[in-house]
Structure 1
Amino acid sequence: MRRDEMLIGSKAFSSLWKEWQKEYQPLQVLELLLAYIEMPEDLSGEIEETQRLLSYFDPDLAPHDAFWKDVARLVDLAFPEDSLSKKFSIERQIHQLRYLISSQQAQYVRTHYKKTGMTDKEALAVYLRWKPFTMFDQGRLHQKISFCDGKGIYPDGIPSVNLKILLYNRIEFILDSQGNFLNEVDAEQVTESGVVNGASFNYGNFKRHWQLDVEPVQPHDPAFRNRMTKGFRSPNKLRKKWGRKEPEHFDRSFYNPNGIYAQSHRSLANDVKRQARLFLAMVYGFKPVQKKQIKEVHMSKQPQNNKGTAVLGSLVFMALYALGIWHNAVRGNIPFLILWSVLLLVNVSYLIFRLRK
């Protein structure tokens, strides 16, 4: 069978994938995968290259498919501690594969959920409607801007409050204020904002996230991204304590309502929260509460659900979260037990809100 008839994610490839995992060590399986897609040592960021690389993946390979969990597990096993940061070819390719995976996952959403006239954000809202996504991470590192004469300069010259959405704590989507996916490599459009603030698939959780996803950025990011991100900086995490002077560099804080990163006299952190509320409204079909004389970022054609559908959806989520709590309690996985418990409480609160409406 020809390789173009056995795309990654297809049933035929799944059989081959299982054989690889039985016969070879984790690092060898990853090497076979990289060779299969003809992964370059350094991504160029060009649309043609991205399209060619994505052509090896089945268009129906979904972000929630178990294949991606296998990839993350293999990377975790193949690169103990901080070994993925070593300056060798395979480590560089594995790191840059994260960007390609995020591009493939964004393209899946566009292909299967984006109808004529819809934004990427609207398509993603439809895809996530029945899935346990989170927005606890406010994406501070995806809010980079550059500076000139004490003023902030946004990528592409367009002010934006970027929103980070996580699915299963590995799958990452970044959206700008205009509703576009931001990716380092993209099969449809290459933007400065995407390269600077784009999404990347996460191999690790908790401590391993730092070792597998954060530390390798400096030694292994592609040359084109290093060029384009030069001069761009994320906001810092400084906070002003009550009754005390502002700390040094507080003007560049994520939490400063009057700082360089702030828009409309609100801190960037508060603006991200507002965007998160609007996105939740888009996903679940309820109208967000808006304060008077405050203009929200425009969103056209928000998908609307009736009350019965929203309540039914909440009940389904409650069942899923309860199952997650039981599963993690049995395994003694305390961090995820807490996470699922919080999600259940949020969902119960939303259900009460809908029933009272």
Structure 2
Amino acid sequence: MLIGSKAFRHLWEDWRRDYQPLQVLKLLLAYIGMPEDLSGELEETQHLLSYFDPDLAPHDSFWKDVVKLVDLAFPGDSLSKNASIERQIHQLRYLISSQQAQYVRTHYKKPGMTDKEALAVYLRWKPFTMFDQGRLHQKVSICDGKAVYPDGIPSVNLKILLYNRIEFILDSQGNFLNEVDAEQVTESGVVNGASFNYGNFKRHWQLDVEPVQPHDPDFRNRMTRGFRSPNKLKKRWGQQAPEQFDKSFYNPKGIYAQSHRSLANDVKRQARLFLALVYGFKPDQTKQSKEVHMSKQPQNNKGTAVLGSLVFMALYALGIWHNAVRGNIPFLILWSVLLLVNVSYFIFRLRK
């Protein structure tokens, strides 16, 4: 039985009914044959992913079950404890992200397409976000005051979140970046790759950030040595630049900057291009201005775009109601902003 298959779901429900959350997670790890330490080798990743049903989608409710079990099994900062099960659960995040990227490739990537293009097709009718600019996924090594990129290839990496748990990282060439990958092993993927998120806003630090230091696999610790993310320092107008501002995410003249723009602005540009790809616009870049413009001839017809906007507005309205009832203020604000953006887009399309 493959994980995610109909037959496995019956077994999964039996486990959840009969055992405590930690025991269920141990059974899942044993079912996969999860090693205590991932090697990052292609053959191992392919073998581990062979236990998952190819049709197990990133948006499947199975992953919600896993998140809930981890939340219950590891209260407080207990996932950072130095023990075998904690290490395996942490590294499972990397395997999950690899499985989810592989799902997109298998079901949406046609010959000649990039991972980015396939992901755009998959996300077209789903409430993804790019509010998090992925600063921690922009690591470089610094030598003599200059950036040395993983694999020697300059890249502005884009972070896309689906349901705030599912994470995809794309490089400038349109490739998925994963710590472990079923198709290719790259330095960029290991250093700046995606990882599935167990924690919500309240528990993200405890479940996804703190365990990295004690539980990351040895191969990743070796490959990330010397690579650093940009800092968050900002220069206020009229004031002297703070120390270490040359390594800032927001410095257009800093070490991390490309094309005389800050890395933060470059990420925004990549996000606009990806939105154009998802919703069917054809972006036009001129050599003179290098600015992103939206083509007046969308690839999708107006009726399809309007219908899509209506569907999204209904989903966002439902999300607002759901979070208002639960008193979840951060998500209430998030869904409200998404609704406003979609309403603006809807009006824009109607006027065209």
Q: Does 1:33 align with 2:28?
A: yes
Question: Residue 116 of structure 2 aligns to which amino acid in structure 1?
Answer: K
Residues 304-315 of structure 1: matches in 2 within 5 Å? 304-315=299-310
Paired with 2:243 and 2:350, the residues of 1 have a C-alpha distance of 48
Q: CA offsets, 1:55-86, max 9 Å, x none? A: 00000000000000100110000000000000
Runs of at least 5 residues in structure 2 that lack an aligned partner in the other structure = 293-297
Q: Does 1:329 align with 2:324?
A: yes
Q: CA offsets, 1:208-241, max 9 Å, x none? A: 0000000000000000000000000000000001
Q: Where does residue 175 of structure 1 map in the other structure?
A: 170
Residues 218-229 of structure 1: matches in 2 within 5 Å? 218-229=213-224
Paired with 1:294 and 1:69, the residues of 2 have a C-alpha distance of 45
Question: Residue 49 of structure 1 aligns to which amino acid in structure 2?
Answer: E
Question: Residue 305 of structure 1 aligns to which amino acid in structure 2?
Answer: N
**2:105 is matched with which residue: 104, 110, 114?**
110
- How far 1:328 moved relative to its partner? 1.3
Q: Where does residue 232 of structure 2 map in the other structure?
A: 237
Q: Where does residue 3 of structure 1 map in the other structure?
A: none
**2:142 is matched with which residue: 127, 147, 154?**
147
Q: Give yes or no for contact 1:325–1:341 (8 Å, CA) kept in 2.
A: yes
Question: Residue 132 of structure 1 aligns to which amino acid in structure 2?
Answer: P
Paired with 1:207 and 1:14, the residues of 2 have a C-alpha distance of 29
Question: Residue 332 of structure 2 aligns to which amino acid in structure 1?
Answer: L
- How far 1:145 moved relative to its partner? 0.2
TM-score normalised by structure 2 residue count: 0.97
Q: Does 1:95 align with 2:90?
A: yes
- How far 1:296 moved relative to its partner? 6.8
Q: Give yes or no for contact 1:76–1:203 (8 Å, CA) kept in 2.
A: yes
- How far 1:330 moved relative to its partner? 1.6
Q: Where does residue 259 of structure 2 map in the other structure?
A: 264
- How far 1:289 moved relative to its partner? 6.8
Q: Give yes or no for contact 1:318–1:347 (8 Å, CA) kept in 2.
A: yes
**2:336 is matched with which residue: 327, 336, 341?**
341
Q: Does 1:67 align with 2:59?
A: no
Instruction: State which drifts further: 324-333 or 235-244.
Output: 324-333
Q: Does 1:76 align with 2:88?
A: no
Q: Give yes or no for contact 1:163–1:174 (8 Å, CA) kept in 2.
A: yes
Q: 3-state DSSP class of the match of 1:255?
A: coil
**Runs of 4+, deviation exceeding 3 Å:** 287-292, 294-297
Q: Where does residue 216 of structure 1 map in the other structure?
A: 211
Identity %, equivalent residues: 89
Alignment length (residue pairs)? 347
**1:278 is matched with which residue: 246, 270, 273?**
273
Instruction: State which drifts further: 308-317 or 23-32.
Output: 308-317
Instruction: State which drifts further: 309-318 or 27-36.
Output: 309-318
| Alpha-carbon distance change, 7 to 326 in structure 1, aligned in 2, over 3 angstroms | same
Runs of at least 5 residues in structure 1 that lack an aligned partner in the other structure = 1-5, 298-302
Question: Residue 344 of structure 1 aligns to which amino acid in structure 2?
Answer: L
